[in-house]
Structure 1
């Protein structure tokens, strides 16, 4: 999905900064993968009548996936010119490479649709996101920030207006399951689900990639820009959540939504804290005042984008610290971050093998998660030390090189890892 160049290790300040930047971005992606896995395996609600949120749900739900998407945009920027976006023939070649890489991701995602699993697979949405942002790859930061702001403000309103039309169709333009090859026979239903009515609505999620592109076009190797990211991201995240609390609690938004649902016992308060995916969110404009994870509202997009920007800043700092002390503290995480497509796919296969089956004797749900997390970190570290690509990363890289007309070139660097974003 995005490609990583070999980090220069010449000993110059520029080479050191670039290496630290790449290590930090990869490590943040590794954290996002572990966070998404946590929401897949560990309970996000307590098993009580009120659906009390767990710390996993409160911490990772919505934020881990959004961080993953923002990092995808950053990766696209880093692979297409960094602060100075590609132009002309090089830009067209880069777009072809990204499109073919997206095709690989989409094929993997459609194939995983055959798994019997209770996890919403993001890969087909992800492939469409990459195709949708191709027109914006050549833009500079100022235009990207303006476009991202407009998208954050407008796309949730547009989705709110269009979603009822799609759901009122016969049959509704919503899958209710992970997209698979058989769904290509009903393209309107598939695209309606992917863009508006599904778990990761592409229409709103384009905002994350635009934010990531804008961040990636900044001079991340300087000291001032990452500091600005931390401050702006933290302030944005806090203000978005605060404004949502004011609107929903002080101004009566949650009470109005509870009344519109027609069931006083419906655990809306808990869902607003953890996950609104699967709830229709229609019939009341108060839905747009929520910042609930996976609600796709303006405040949700602002909050999760702000958290992502702050996390990126922290990992950029850790990358620079690791380089300064000459100790690769981020090795397991950055290695996992360079293998996310292969590791994510393997994780889904493991979870499918356990779905609707009792756990092996002596195993707990927590044990299942920590065993997978440990495997992810060990494999990430091993592949990073050996400078290997994962198998699906190799396919994505080959597709990218084919699109750019560079397949077979630079054989000496062929073993380097790429990020399957």
Structure 2
């Protein structure tokens, strides 16, 4: 989210040096708009005479998938660009610090949105340890992480929540939470809205995807087909475990099922549900459950989306380019636009847009994002927060290069 567009300059990227992978910006822009929809439109609604809760179409389509696509794209972006992150780990950490500062500040806004930026920054910083690995090693590590991290999270979640007070923030991280480091660390890692322990798997998947020759149509098609298959298999495995094998009965017998409308939440979002008492929680693929099946499903959706947008970007007629430019422009300015979106939502929820329906509010946010992104990109600029993050990354590159003997230039 913090990076400007990416270019395929590294060896093996499958494109000419300096050629932009437009599809990555398109995918990032689509993720931004989908996240806006998940923020603005209701995820659940009460229907029928009894007022039973049901998942909305927006919750079913967007919840969990948009944020996961952002995280996977973060990993992809780290493998591309003029200065590979593997050679600029200090710059990577400094960029993460900028994103974290923005996130802590944005957490001060009174808004009904779980701000992802602090966790996103931690994911960036943690990736410095693995960004130099090859594709095979990254693939094995990603598969292991998707399989094992949810088990570890389940094992440690109950004692963290049983602490007095519980090691959970119940809000987006903000500056004052630095005064309670144990709760902040536990929330970011395991008990919060975007648990980094499991979500680091998305970055690993993104790094693995980014090591492929993304400019090739065959690779793009494989991402689309393989990602779709993985997403479908994860949902199929969930159905088999919950219904023929009876896992749903064990979940409905938990204390959490008496607190939350669990049937609806399994379709749209388990955010806020403690997921303790029974190991059957690990059998779900529900959005924001952080289980292996959830991670595989959302990673598959992300891979399919990346493949689809890379294929779409191969269509180069002038009209098509003009049609897609606003979306790719927004995708190159996501840190600024996401921040502005959350701040504007806080203003709206505080009474700044009286009488405006949620659909109209979403349309206003989307139009503004596309217009701003196109304006910034058409002038060859970076967004202000992208420029700040880029400056931090450049500072790290310069600091890391001091004292090194330049390599001889080839004749």
Matches within 5 A, 1:323-338: 327-338=321-332
| Distance apart, 1:91 and its partner CA | 3.4
Matches within 5 A, 1:38-117: 38-48=37-47, 49-79=51-81, 91-92=86-87, 94-117=88-111
User: Counterparts of 1:285 and 1:295 in 2: how far apart (Å)?
Assistant: 13
1:135 pairs with one of 121, 125, 129? 129
Matches within 5 A, 1:394-409: 394-405=387-398
Aligned to 2:184: 190
1:381 pairs with one of 348, 363, 374? 374
User: Counterparts of 2:28 and 2:164 in 1: how far apart (Å)?
Assistant: 40
Q: Retained in 2: the 8 A contact 1:105–1:396?
A: yes
5+ residue gaps, structure 1: 408-421
What is the TM-score with the length of structure 1 in the denominator? 0.89
Aligned to 1:410: none
Aligned to 2:363: 370
Q: Retained in 2: the 8 A contact 1:66–1:304?
A: yes
Which runs of at least 4 in structure 1 moved beyond 6 Å after TM superposition?
323-326
User: Counterparts of 1:127 and 1:327 in 2: how far apart (Å)?
Assistant: 32
User: Counterparts of 1:329 and 1:145 in 2: how far apart (Å)?
Assistant: 35
Change in Cα spacing, 1:58 to 1:189, as seen in structure 2 (3 Å) is same
| Distance apart, 1:328 and its partner CA | 4.0
Matches within 5 A, 1:300-339: 300-322=294-316, 327-339=321-333
Aligned to 1:284: 278
Secondary structure, aligned partner of 2:243 = helix
| Distance apart, 1:7 and its partner CA | 7.3
1:242 has 2:242 as partner: no
Change in Cα spacing, 1:99 to 1:323, as seen in structure 2 (3 Å) is farther
Q: Retained in 1: the 8 A contact 2:282–2:291?
A: yes
5+ residue gaps, structure 2: 401-411
Aligned to 1:33: 32
| Distance apart, 1:75 and its partner CA | 0.4
Q: Structure 1 residues 319-328 or 388-397, which shifts more?
A: 319-328
Q: Retained in 2: the 8 A contact 1:322–1:329?
A: no
Q: Deviations over 1:17-52 (max 9, x none)?
A: 933xx2100010000001111111111112332221
User: Counterparts of 2:373 and 2:200 in 1: how far apart (Å)?
Assistant: 28
Secondary structure, aligned partner of 1:52 = strand
| Distance apart, 1:360 and its partner CA | 2.1
Q: Retained in 2: the 8 A contact 1:18–1:221?
A: no
User: Counterparts of 2:172 and 2:259 in 1: how far apart (Å)?
Assistant: 30
| Distance apart, 1:62 and its partner CA | 0.4
| Distance apart, 1:247 and its partner CA | 0.7
Q: Deviations over 1:288-315 (max 9, x none)?
A: 0000000000000000000000000110
Q: Structure 1 residues 198-207 or 110-119, which shifts more?
A: 110-119
User: Counterparts of 1:160 and 1:124 in 2: how far apart (Å)?
Assistant: 22
Aligned length: 392
Q: Retained in 2: the 8 A contact 1:27–1:337?
A: yes
What is the TM-score with the length of structure 2 in the denominator? 0.91
